């Protein structure tokens, strides 16, 4: 399995607090069967100013510690980019951490506020697509607008977005409504990726295997392979080339 959404870089957002916790999270992921992790700290201007140089520095320190411990896992980084018109400035300066290149597109993990889908979101998505960037919209099943009106996702589907569901939504951690919406979207073939969105060891660990088992039981091995390995592999493979 490949996890391409998690908050494990220590001390730079609301994820791992320190190096010890970060290393414990990575070991837990490896023990759960994850072979690659793309670390995606929040890039939320005004709250988490995690621009490319900040993330790169934190990543290299963590990667060195993982190597010292001999944990058998491959690491790369991107960012979970909060929807904001200011990200266009970072994009123009090539300072926006993103996933790799696939089928002529760059992919970017894009986060809407949990409370709603802001007006003008479609215009930003259109601009990104015009610049050969495909947004991967994080955890749509936890967005309150989509919980109230699930069909609203269709306009972003039509714009060419990808979607990433949280593994613990599949297993019911975020409640029955989020679980039902996640499974409904998967049944409609609207979801391309399942990832952990891990933040800590107790409440939000980097565990994918339980969700994978459930998806296999409900939709079959081929669908599980697509969501937990093939799609995340394809859009991040270039990050691991060296």
Report the chain (242 residues): mean pLDDT per 10 consecutive residues: 98 97 98 98 91 94 97 97 90 92 96 94 96 97 98 98 98 97 98 98 96 98 98 97 76
Encoding tokens for residue 57? Answer: 């520095």
What are the structural domain ranges in the chain?
2-240
Q: Which pLDDT score is estimated for 211?
A: 98
CATH topology of domain 2-240: TIM Barrel (3.20.20)
Please report the pLDDT score of residue 46 as a whole number. Answer: 84
Nearest to 152 by CA among 139, 143, 164: 143
Q: How far apart are CA 63 and CA 232, in angstroms?
A: 20
Give me the helix-helix angle, 19-31 and 52-69, nearest 10°.
60
Q: How far apart are CA 132 and CA 144, in angstroms?
A: 29
Q: What is the CA radius of gyration of the chain?
A: 17
The tokens describing 77, both together, are: 């980084």
Task: Please name the residue that has the structure tokens 């909060």.
Answer: 82
Longest CA span, the chain: 48
Evaluate whether 13 touches 48 at the Cβ level (below 8 Å): yes
Q: What is the pLDDT of residue 49?
A: 87
> What pLDDT does 242 receive?
64
Rounded to the nearest angstrom, the gap between the alpha carbon of residue 51 and the centroid of all alpha carbons in its chain is: 17
Using CA atoms, how far residue 76 sits from 166, 199, 208, 236, in Å, is: 19, 17, 18, 9
Q: What is the pLDDT of residue 85?
A: 83
């Amino acid at each position: 399995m490949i996890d391409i959404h998690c908050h494990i870089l220590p001390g730079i957002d609301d994820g791992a607090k320190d190096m010890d916790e970060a290393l414990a999270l990575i070991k837990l992921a490896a023990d759960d069967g994850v072979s690659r992790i793309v670390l995606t700290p929040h890039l939320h201007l005004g709250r988490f100013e995690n621009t490319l140089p900040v993330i790169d520095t934190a990543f290299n320190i963590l990667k060195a510690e993982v190597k010292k411990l001999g944990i058998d896992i491959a690491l790369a980084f991107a960012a979970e980019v909060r929807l904001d018109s200011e990200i266009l400035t970072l994009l123009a300066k090539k300072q926006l951490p993103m996933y790799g290149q696939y089928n002529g597109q760059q992919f970017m993990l894009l986060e809407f506020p949990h409370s709603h889908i802001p007006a003008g979101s479609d215009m930003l998505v259109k601009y990104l697509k015009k610049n050969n960037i495909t947004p991967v919209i994080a955890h749509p099943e936890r967005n309150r607008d989509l919980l109230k009106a699930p069909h609203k996702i269709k306009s972003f589907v039509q714009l060419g977005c990808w979607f990433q569901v949280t593994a613990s939504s599949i297993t019911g951690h975020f409640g029955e409504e989020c679980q039902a919406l996640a499974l409904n979207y998967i049944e409609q073939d609207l979801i391309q990726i399942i990832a952990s969105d891990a933040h800590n060891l107790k409440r939000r660990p980097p565990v994918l295997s339980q969700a994978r088992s459930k998806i296999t039981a409900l939709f079959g091995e081929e669908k599980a392979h697509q969501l937990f390995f093939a799609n995340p592999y394809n859009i991040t493979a270039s990050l691991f080339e060296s």
